[in-house]
Structure 1
Amino acid sequence: MNTPKKIGILGGTFDPPHLGHLKLATHFAKALHLDTLLLIPSGEPWQKDTGITPAKIRLQLIEAAAVDLARAFLYLKIPTQIGVDRIEIDRAGPSYAIDTVKALRARFGAGVNLTWLMGADSLANLHSWNLWDQLLGFVNFAVASRPQHALSSHISPEITNLLEEHQCIDTDTLENSLFGRIYLDNSLSVDLSSTELRNQLKSASRSDIASEHIPSHALEIITNLGLYK
């Protein structure tokens, strides 16, 4: 049997995109041997507070960050192709993951491995997502640990049951499953938050914080537009 084509999905508000996003993308692109990685900025992030940066600007930021990510892939000899997908920005109404995964499955077909990449905090909050219990009918989940979000202390009964039914313990199983599997990766620790970063950027040490945590091409746009002050 041929190995199915593997597509990773990294969605988010990306307000702003930061090195934690790139670290997670790089790790799973390599670990899961992804053929393609889609970066999908949300159009109307329905679970976020008001005051989110306009989608058009966030799209610019993630496109800029993708340039830095592509350079990292080239340096690390990771052959994964990177694309920024406008699917949620172009779709009217709230950006629900279930609508996105249905559309991507229809686009790429039944024979492709689709894996949604996320941090442990997202998995812990999954039961608050719209039609969350249908997502694994279209995609796998690859979940990276977060230092402040240990699943053992934050997990709900719904997610406990989901893991009992769908968790796999190795990447090979995930790679060979077109959908319906959850892989928890404890080797990567991503400890950056866009919300915390926005708050930090309002401080006197803004320039140091920005250069340490934000990809250089995205930072150039943030500086030129005077964002997050």
Structure 2
Amino acid sequence: MTSAHLDTPKKIGILGGTFDPPHLGHLKLATHFAKVLHLDALLLIPSGEPWQKDPDITSAQIRLQLTEAAGIDLARAFLYLKIPTQIGIDRIEIDRAGPSYAIDTAKALRDRFGPLVSLTWLMGADSLLNIPSWNSWDQLLHFVNFAVASRPHHELSTEMSPEIQALLEKYQSIDASSLEKSPFGRIYLDNSLSVDLSSTELRAQLKSTSRSAIASEHIPSHALEIITNLGLYK
């Protein structure tokens, strides 16, 4: 695992989030798309100041620690599953002052890796449905692709806004391999993975009496060790 220095990758996945805390849903999403898209590298990017989230989130430095710890578990899973994707934990949003906007990150990563590398933003269907609320959302596909995993309780066909419908009509590809060949501008919807886990719900559950069982079932072991040692989410 590395901290952002990657060996000339041609296909890079981007998984951003508050990671408050990182959970097995994040790791399942990362593992699935690393295989499906044959990613050379995967960047986990904890947000610095998530402008749409609860103001009481855990500090950026601790969330970075948790993400690095979860990256260790993800690297072990990749090794076990013989997935050759490199994993990087990227500080780009934590080091950048002000609110963490996806468009700023997409532009910066495009500048870093150049015009020919395939950059694919990994997300759940709930994030795609919410994208029209993101800053400069309509410019994102000029810099990256989207790979979208289905989520229970978020049915695209019934919840889709006219903006998302228009986006899919213009950019959707039914073939995952098209993202490998396209630096940006493609959307791939994947219905073979369904992750029913969110950090918000997990934080609420961790305040319950069954905290220990919930934590060990849903949080990667290295991240859980930090959470336990620091007494987080009580």
TM-score category by the smaller chain? over 0.9
Q: Residue 53 of structure 2 corresponds to which residue in structure 1?
A: 48
Q: Residue 75 of structure 1 corresponds to which residue in structure 2?
A: 80
CA positional deviation for 1:175: 1.2
TM-score scaled to structure 1, two decimals? 0.98
Secondary structure, counterpart of 1:197 in structure 2: helix
In structure 1, stretches of 5+ residues that fail to align are none
User: Equivalences for 1:119-138 in 2 at 5 Å?
Assistant: 119-138=124-143
2:195 equivalent to 1:183: no
2:90 equivalent to 1:85: yes
- Aligned AA (1:7): I
Q: Residue 19 of structure 1 corresponds to which residue in structure 2?
A: 24
| CA distance, structure 2, for counterparts of residue 202 and residue 58 of structure 1 | 18
Q: Residue 173 of structure 1 corresponds to which residue in structure 2?
A: 178
Count of matched residue pairs: 226
Report the identity percentage: 83
Structure 1 runs of 4+ with >2 Å offset: none
- Aligned AA (1:120): A
CA positional deviation for 1:149: 0.7
Q: Residue 222 of structure 1 corresponds to which residue in structure 2?
A: 227
Secondary structure, counterpart of 1:29 in structure 2: helix
Q: Deviations over 1:113-138 (max 9, x none)?
A: 00000000000000000000000000
In structure 2, stretches of 5+ residues that fail to align are 1-8
Q: Residue 214 of structure 2 corresponds to which residue in structure 1?
A: 209
CA positional deviation for 1:49: 1.4
| CA distance, structure 2, for counterparts of residue 165 and residue 181 of structure 1 | 9
| CA distance, structure 2, for counterparts of residue 194 and residue 172 of structure 1 | 30
Q: Residue 114 of structure 1 corresponds to which residue in structure 2?
A: 119
Q: Residue 100 of structure 1 corresponds to which residue in structure 2?
A: 105
149, 157, 160: which is aligned to 1:144? 149
Q: Residue 70 of structure 2 corresponds to which residue in structure 1?
A: 65
CA positional deviation for 1:154: 1.7
| CA distance, structure 1, for counterparts of residue 127 and residue 41 of structure 2 | 22
Secondary structure, counterpart of 1:159 in structure 2: helix
TM-score scaled to structure 2, two decimals? 0.96
CA positional deviation for 1:80: 0.1
CA positional deviation for 1:155: 1.2
- Aligned AA (1:195): T
| CA distance, structure 2, for counterparts of residue 212 and residue 49 of structure 1 | 24
